[in-house]
A and B are shown apart, each in its own frame.
Chain A
């Protein structure tokens, strides 16, 4: 049986762990609110942007002169996977789930004889994919310094991706991120961004627009911006998901620590009682012997 001193130390250490996880949970809760607000505020832009772009894209889709970002390069041999994860761990299965989805996709593509290139955004995804797919890495975007995700950050990633596309490095690009549903549910998602995929539920509006300059020029102008918009939405969803996942992970950890403290306290009390009983027996039997 462990002695009383050991037990007491153990209880103290679990208690301080609980304090830390509790604090992390509260920090995550505060950050989650901000992340959710940011995601919500970006929604009007993304929604309208996508609606206009889907409208333009669906009318230009058949044309031979459609920009490459819409019609594709005519092949789907080389795939670029943009894996967006967090910079920090301790957020449950958040990073692992995204990495798992990306790994499954990569394995599927490789099995089909395609070339896979991987661009990672966020350190954790990089670490997790490193073991199996290090040869496929083409780049990494570091977001450690970023405190608040801004559109400029997304533009930076988009510029990188578009530069590679212009240089003919890949044919299809897919982003991986986690969609925020609620605090306990985040859905790892893969979304094709190049060539632009018209959403399936898209319905053409009945309004007939005049276009200035012309439809194709607008589309050519909008498509690269669309890549940045999609990446930005992904990053914001990720931000909220990360905090949500961390919050529930830390909530679990706090609860587990509480249970552990209860268990240890019972054990401590039992041992204390046993020691007292022992001492009493010794005293009584000593007195009887006299």
Chain B
């Protein structure tokens, strides 16, 4: 099954994969060959690709995945291989989410949906940090 990971700036990976675990907006899903054609949005999370005996992991934030007959294409707004991830990048992601949350809380009191979304985003960031072994600051909710 063909797997492609592209960001707006460049194509990050293109390989033959056996299974791809996608952090979908409604929960993780693992795609193997002959999966039903699906389009799903991504939540910030870790994308796991199994290619033979190798496993590649990427931290992705936002975007969507298109699962078709030919394979999986993941279009992520930001994607970094987990091994290349640094604490600084993690902090930057966290700070951005925190800022989005604070802004949503201040400006959108009448739209609880947006505040909840931002809180979820923040929680996702903390979850990423835990998953790949970086510490994140305590979220200020």
Contacts and interface: CB of A to CB of B under 8 A. Distances in A.
Interface string A174-215: 000000000000000000000000000000000111111100
Chain A at the B interface: mostly helix, strand, loop or mixed? helix
Interface residues of B, number: 27
Interface residues of A, number: 28
A160 to B, nearest CB: 15
Given A48-B73, A52-B64, A221-B64, A210 B39 contact: yes
Given A52-B64, A222-B64, A208 B6 contact: no
A228 B75 CA distance: 14
B66 interface: yes
Contacts, number: 78
Given A45-B8, A151-B7, A225-B63, A209 B77 contact: no
Nearest to B27: A212
Contacts of B110: none
Given A38-B9, A207-B69, A229-B8, A218 B39 contact: yes
Contacts of A38: 9
22 contacts: A42-B9, A45-B7, A45-B11, A48-B6, A48-B66, A48-B75, A52-B39, A52-B64, A52-B75, A151-B8, A151-B9, A154-B8, A207-B37, A207-B69, A209-B37, A209-B38, A210-B36, A210-B38, A211-B40, A213-B25, A222-B64, A228-B8
Interface of A: 38, 41-42, 44-46, 48-49, 52, 56, 150-151, 154, 207-213, 217-218, 221-222, 225, 228-229, 232
